[in-house]
Amino acid sequence: QVQMVQSGAEVKKPGASVKVSCKVSGYTLNELSMHWVRQAPGKGLEWMGGFDPEDGKKIDAQRFQGRVTMTEDTSTDTAYMELSSLRSDDTAVYYCATSIVGAPRYYGMDVWGQGTTVTVSS
Amino acid sequence: SYVLTQPPSVSVAPGQTARITCGGNNVGSTSVHWYQQKPGQAPVLVIYYDSDRPSGIPERFSGSKSGSTATLTISRVEAGDEADYYCQVWDSVSDHSKWVFGGGTKLTVL
């Protein structure tokens, strides 16, 4: 049984950075292709980036390029997403998501973290 | 940029069938996944690879695809099915490969 537990809510000022963690249990990070998705209040889901096993590389959504950094600590099976130069419209719930069945491209994302609320306000 | 189009809302009476569509140029040539999201909760995968159901998802949920439109069908709708539903595809046609979500459809059970 895989579980992904994310870090707690954050409040940040505009221009700051935030780092959200996602700890995996039941699997090792090496077995998973981790992705990050966010959802602004009252809005839809927005993919931010993740690892594509078909291409063997991390891919960021173009609108976040240069601002998002996704890293992994395989010694603790914890994935991280850091978003810099925060703006008020970055206020959202941030999710880590993955597939335990196979490549997300074909199997979707069947495991999600509980979400981390990030509020950007002066 | 690549766009997946969903109706903003669908309403159906309990026991009836709900159909939620997802249209896009690339839909016919890539796998479509569907997610259910209830208020305050993380999304749940209900259909993957166009029409396959993950373990634990009721048979009432089914997926299909024709041309550039994918459809999520929920049979014998129950009050507990009321939620937002999102389609998702992997866009490898554009210059920059990426995941794309539809705008979401709010299913209301009357």
Q: Report pLDDT digits (tens) over B31-84.
A: 999 999 999 999 999 999 999 999 999 999 999 999 999 999 999 999 999 999
CB contact under 8 A, A105 and B100: no
A59-88: pLDDT as tens digits: 888 888 789 999 999 999 999 999 999 999
Find out whether A103 and B83 touch, Cβ atoms under 8 Å: no
Render the burial of A68-105: b for 16+ CB within 10 Å, e for the rest: bbbebeeeebbbbbebeebeeebbbbbbbbbbebeebb
Task: Give pLDDT, residue B1.
Answer: 67
Render the burial of B48-84: b for 16+ CB within 10 Å, e for the rest: bbbbbbbeebeebbbbebeeeebbbebeebeeebbbb
Task: Give pLDDT, residue B64.
Answer: 97
Nearest residue on chain B to A60, alpha-carbon basis: B98
Task: Give pLDDT, residue B91.
Answer: 84
How do the pLDDT tens digits run along chain A, 122 residues long? 899 999 999 999 999 999 999 999 999 999 999 999 999 999 999 999 998 887 788 888 888 878 999 999 999 999 999 999 999 999 999 999 999 988 888 899 999 999 999 999 99
Nearest to B84 by CA among A34, A18, A29, A43: A43
Q: How far apart are CA B110 and CA B11, in angstroms?
A: 7
Percent of chain B at pLDDT exceeding 90: 83
CB contact under 8 A, A52 and B97: yes
Which residues from chain A sit within 8 angstroms of residue B99, using beta carbons? Answer: 35, 47, 50, 61, 104
Which residues from chain B sit within 8 angstroms of residue A104, using beta carbons? Answer: 90, 99
